[in-house]
Copies of this chain bind each other. A is one copy, B any other.
């Protein structure tokens, strides 16, 4: 179903982070290999060398490529010949271990897939932008929700004018998993996310708020003009935000609301977006990702369903099963990897990647996300209603 340009071997990739106890590392690996043409061959799976080794053994990595540290991996892989050396590295460490290995691998000429949020500061982000441009590597950021076919369809509607002029955006991301102080109960996922040293200046805003920002940007192409943020920490003693409500103003007059919470009792992973234009509106929910609602002015609501011929080319390329055979979270991740992979294959084959192949979040998206985090904090601290984005 995908328009994959073959090369005559599998792609090889390695991973930094993602060992035992990691949730997202396994997701990345499963996503990466899901096309059947990609192999996981190397890893530095933990910052703890013993755990790194043990994790690699679990995953049956060849001992010589089961590294104790990313530095070792970088050194050794750099010396391997083309075709044997990893084609890209997937970096899935906690936030504070994003910048250094990413920059190092880019500077060594490796392609990189990095988990979000990209880095802690705009300064770091700019360094990555510069490095990617200088070393001409392929860089993908796993804002995986843009990998869903119906999200691509939503973007297509906006771009093709189907909604008319956009007026209002509402994006929400309620979760409940940090309702209690899990960071004191030994849950690694909670520990680093609520620790300013590892998570950065924000908690929920970095973890899920950046997904919202990215989703709005991807679908609407609207640019933020100003925001007014109310950042909250509901769990006593927690060091970072676990909830936020933000008013948005976009260039051109559209307005919006973005709210996220990790204490929204009963929520699971409730990312959803509603976009209202002068000609129509749309709504999409991550938990029912195979459907996209369209609300045309004057007509009945329509439910677009994945796997149908009436969807746009980007949606169809991101589709791997017929309609009614649901696809979900792994496939959204897989579609990011698919496009990054095909872009790498294009490069290896000496041809220009297509626009469809290049449809994955970039280092520029990552930098904008970092700026978003910084602006939210700036606004939250301000007594002024509006904090300008630029």
Binding site for B on A (CB under 8 A): 6, 8-10, 23, 26-27, 29-30, 33-34, 36-37, 40, 58-60, 163, 167-168, 170, 172, 174-177, 179, 228, 230, 232, 234, 243, 245, 247, 249, 253, 255-257, 259, 261, 263-270, 276-281, 286-290, 294-305, 307-310, 320-331, 382-386
Asked if residues A278 and B265 are in contact (CB atoms below 8 Å), the reply is yes
Give the CA-CA distance A295 to B265 in the complex, in Å.
7
Give the CA-CA distance A179 to B278 in the complex, in Å.
7
> Which residues in B have their C-beta under 8 angstroms from that of A302?
299-303
A295 touches which of B27, B266, B384 (Cβ 8 Å): B266
Asked if residues A300 and B305 are in contact (CB atoms below 8 Å), the reply is yes
Asked if residues B324 and A287 are in contact (CB atoms below 8 Å), the reply is yes
Chain B's nearest CB lies how many Å from the CB of A183? 17
A276 touches which of B255, B264, B300, B308 (Cβ 8 Å): B264
Give the CA-CA distance A265 to B174 in the complex, in Å.
24
Asked if residues A297 and B249 are in contact (CB atoms below 8 Å), the reply is no
Give the CA-CA distance A386 to B385 in the complex, in Å.
8
A264 touches which of B40, B168, B264, B304 (Cβ 8 Å): B168
> Which residues in B have their C-beta under 8 angstroms from that of A296?
266
Interface of A is mostly: loop
Q: In the complex, what residue of chain B is closest to A279 when comparing beta carbons?
A: B265
- Could you give 20 example pairs across A and B, Cβ below 8 Å? A27-B321, A29-B36, A30-B34, A37-B60, A167-B265, A168-B234, A177-B322, A230-B255, A263-B276, A264-B276, A265-B279, A265-B295, A267-B295, A269-B323, A286-B324, A300-B310, A302-B303, A328-B328, A382-B385, A384-B384
Give the CA-CA distance A277 to B267 in the complex, in Å.
12
> Which residues in B have their C-beta under 8 angstroms from that of A255?
230, 232, 243, 245
Asked if residues A168 and B243 are in contact (CB atoms below 8 Å), the reply is yes
> Which residues in B have their C-beta under 8 angstroms from that of A60?
8-10, 37
